[in-house]
Amino acid sequence: MCPLLAKERSAWGKDAVPSHTICSQEGGVVLVLVLLLTGFLLLLGSALLTIASSERQVGSNDRSAAQALYLAEAAIERTRRLLPRFPVNDVLVNNLLLGGWINETSADSGTYRATVTNNVESIGGLPQDGGTAVCGSTTCDTDGLVVITGTGTFQGSLRVVRVVVEVPPFLGPPAPLTLVNSTVDPLFDGESFLVSGFDRNLDGGAGPSPAHPAIALVSSEAASTVLGILTPGQQSRALGVGATPSVAVVANAATSGTLQGVKLQLARQADRVLVNPGTIYEDLRRIDGGGQVTLVTGDPSADSNRGLDTAGDVILEGSGHGSGVLVVTGELTLRGSYRFDGAVLLVGDGSRLTLEGDSMIIGSVIIANRTTSHAGRAGFAIRDRAQLHFSQETLRGAARLLSARLRTWQEIPASQ
């Protein structure tokens, strides 16, 4: 266009506009437009890259924060499941749960840790523990409630979760047979039975735990009653630490009231509930053969605790096998060659234990009679070739079935 226009304008004379001026103006406008468009595109691209980068960073931060929260909850969950295996005040004093596997444990480039303290303040509407004795850096537990604080870190993100849990009982009884009533109603029949406080593993070998008394009682009156009915031939059938027969008065046995609370806690975690079942021959185990928490109660309409304060009696007979934790609110009888491995708690109306035939319990039995039945005495009868062995192995297995029940949950700022 510019060369043609130049020819036409050259014929007009001296006043014609020079051709190079028009071409230069048009070229300058195009250049400016190109530069503006290029700058706009550069700004737009830069903005898009910034937005994409920001979105990617936000997404990464969200993922890191979520992973940190998962790690904090993992610390809570692991501690919650392990608490029943230890006396809670030992945990508060010695940080038994804060070894290398829980304290600053690495997990996919993140870490988590947990601390356990007593509930020294009201949290989530739950009252504070009123105890004053000191356990480590906190007060000792008196209400069964403790605080677990879980911290998770992942790629710079930090999340903290605090929960209050209700700790189930530590399954560490003082003997294979413990009676917490000050008066007892015992019976030994024959000279072939065995009550042993020596630690025994399930394979029949000796366990690592120190020897315990064969029978633990809470009063000298109760001890005198038990010793008084043992014949000379029966005395060697109660073996354990100290003299033979191994019968001891202990100061660390739980009270009847404490065991009532334990029973109510265990009832909330029962895998199976039997209401006055009478005689049963089946296994008290899971389908895979693992242990379970079994509860035997009275009529659920008989008291305000859904039958937990009414005698629920059961006879385990035949060649069945049970394991885990067995809670009975009345009388428990084992006959034939029935065997139970784990912790047995008899707390309720006229609680009493009867072992006869070739029946066996490997673990521990605690008896607390809370009513006037059987004259207010905790009772037992051991006959024939029945055996009762202490076993730390089965008690630990029973403790693995329990976990601290979650009462409150809250995420808190990292500074708290």
Nearest to 274 by CA among 226, 322, 318: 322
Cα(288)–Cα(298) distance, rounded to whole angstroms?
28
Q: Is the pLDDT of residue 197 over 90?
A: yes
Which of 17-26, 36-45, 57-66, 388-397 is the least confident region? Answer: 17-26
Same domain, 55 and 75: no
Same domain, 236 and 374: yes
Query: Average pLDDT for residues 254-264, to the nearest whole number?
Result: 84
Could you say which of 61, 83, 111 is where a domain stops? 61
Q: Does residue 413 have a cis bond before it (omega within 30 degrees)?
A: no
Same domain, 52 and 87: no
Which of 46-55, 306-315, 335-344 is the least confident region? Answer: 46-55
User: 320 lies in which domain range?
Assistant: 177-399
Identity of residue 176: P
Same domain, 6 and 88: no
> If you average pLDDT over every residue of the chain, what do you get?
85
Query: Tokens 């004259």, residue?
Result: 375
Q: Is the pLDDT of residue 391 over 50?
A: yes
Which of 130-139, 252-261, 274-283, 317-326 is the least confident region? Answer: 252-261
Cα(351)–Cα(367) distance, rounded to whole angstroms?
7
Nearest to 363 by CA among 207, 218, 250, 226: 207
Could you say which of 22, 41, 61 is where a domain stops? 61
Same domain, 137 and 279: no
Query: Tokens 């008290």, residue?
Result: 284
Answer with the residue of higher pLDDT: 205 or 261.
205
Q: Is the pLDDT of residue 287 over 50?
A: yes
Highest mean pLDDT among 53-67, 108-122, 334-348: 334-348
Nearest to 110 by CA among 149, 148, 75: 75
Query: Average pLDDT for residues 361-383, to the nearest whole number?
Result: 86
Q: Is the pLDDT of residue 257 over 50?
A: yes
Same domain, 153 and 80: yes
Q: Is the pLDDT of residue 131 over 60?
A: yes
Cα dist from 318 to 162, 340, 387, whole Å = 48, 12, 15
Q: Report pTM.
A: 0.73
Nearest to 255 by CA among 224, 291, 218, 281: 218
- CB atoms inside a 10 Å sphere around CB 247: 27
Residue 99: the pLDDT is: 45
Cα(273)–Cα(291) distance, rounded to whole angstroms?
14
Residue 108: the pLDDT is: 59
Q: Is the pLDDT of residue 233 over 90?
A: yes
Q: Is the pLDDT of residue 252 over 80?
A: no
Q: Where residue 314 falls among pLDDT bands split at 50, 70, 90?
A: very high
Q: Where residue 12 falls among pLDDT bands split at 50, 70, 90?
A: very low
Same domain, 259 and 350: yes
Partners of 362 in beta bridges = 341, 389
Same domain, 255 and 141: no
Could you say which of 61, 88, 107 is where a domain stops? 61
Cα(113)–Cα(145) distance, rounded to whole angstroms?
20
Same domain, 151 and 282: no
Same domain, 156 and 111: yes
Same domain, 260 and 334: yes
Residue 93: the pLDDT is: 85
Number of domains, the chain: 3
Cα(333)–Cα(42) distance, rounded to whole angstroms?
87
Q: What is the pLDDT of residues 73-123, one digit of tens each?
A: 988 988 888 888 788 888 888 765 554 444 555 555 688 888 899 999 999
Q: Where residue 244 falls among pLDDT bands split at 50, 70, 90?
A: very high
Same domain, 129 and 196: no
